[in-house]
Amino acid sequence: MIATIIIWIIVGLIAGALAKLIMPGDDPGGIIVTIIIGLIGAVIGGWIMSLFGKAGANGLNVYSIIVSIIGAIILLALYRLFVSRTAH
């Protein structure tokens, strides 16, 4: 159980950091928001892949990181869309 949580944190951190590299911008929150976006992005990516009959992000491997990055990018885009609408 603890090992699974640690793996999700590692995958989330990697996915969040890579999503920020792919979509650079001025987002508030720093590393904490990056980790949260990565973790939630991993869940979103895994859920989307499960809709197509593929296994989601499970374990520390390249496939999990790619799925998590895609989910994190989607979440980051939605986050920016929501924040930009509330800021104006």
Report pTM. 0.71
Torsional sign, CA 27, 33, 35, 41: negative
pLDDT 10s digits, 19-60: 878 887 776 666 677 778 777 877 777 777 777 766 554 566
Residue 81 has pLDDT above 60, yes or no: yes
Residue 87 has pLDDT above 70, yes or no: no
Domain ranges across the chain: 2-87
Mean pLDDT of 66-76: 83
Residue 13: CB atoms within 10 Å: 16
pLDDT at position 59 is 60
